[in-house]
Amino acid sequence: MSALRQLLKSVFTAAFPQSWLMTHGPHASVSEQKEIALTFDDGPHPEHTPRLLDVLAAAGAKGTFFVIGEKTLRHPKLVRRIADEGHELGNHTWTHSEPSQTSAGRFLEEVAQTRQMIQNLTGRDCRLMRPPKGALTVGKTLGLWRRQQTIALWNSDPKDFAMKDEAELLRWLDGYRPRTGDIVLLHDNHPRAAIAVERLKCNDLRFVTMSEWLDRAGPQKQTRAVHPGEQEVANVR
């Protein structure tokens, strides 16, 4: 992440409540264990998601799955399994189209379509929305907030989707020092997310969903909206 993008991210995180924009969780834990949120993008996948769910169940861990709408249409049983096993479902648009080539109108249509699909499959509304690549314009941001969606980003990204082999992931895990409040970005359309969970569970961590942190924080004071424009307000990759 560039220094400018890091600065912009910090400014926006400080300016808005977590119910609007979430880049990390609380820095203090309710227990003596460190708390981190494991998040999984770009699924569900017919092979890798079931394996990941098995690993999460064995670890007694909960995660947040940001699903792509058209994939939920193809794999509805997996979406129901995610929900039934106590994990959280988040919205990752319908097609995961390239942000720079997707208008605000089209983006918001995809968000609404995916939100409705998740509700139809699970009976639960979906309040967390993670934009592809973390990229947003002001128009897209304001559209999400008008629809009472929480923009859910992250602060720890091993870029597992780009890793060539398991050894790269293990090197990242060896160097990772978890902090309470970390939101870790992984991808369940790749096999390495399950490996990461198996290694991380050995660190005496407590895994929470992002909404657990939001619910614990309770109602937050609303702040002013930003002035509309076309500049990018959040792009952390």
* Residue numbers annotated as active site: 41, 187
Q: What is the per-residue DSSP string for the chain?
A: --HHHHHHHHHHHHHS-TTTEESS--SS-SSSSEEEEEEEEEE--TTHHHHHHHHHHHHT---EEEE-HHHHHH-HHHHHHHHHTT-EEEE--SS---GGGS-HHHHHHHHHHHHHHHHHHHS----EE--GGG-EEHHHHHHHHHTTPEEE--SB---GGG-SSHHHHHHHHHH----TTEEEEEETTSTHHHHHHHHHGGG-EEE--HHHHHHHH------PPPPP-SSEEE---
Q: Please, are residues 69 and 108 in contact by the beta-carbon 8 Å criterion?
A: no
| Residue in this structure with the two tokens 């139809």, named with its chain if needed | 120
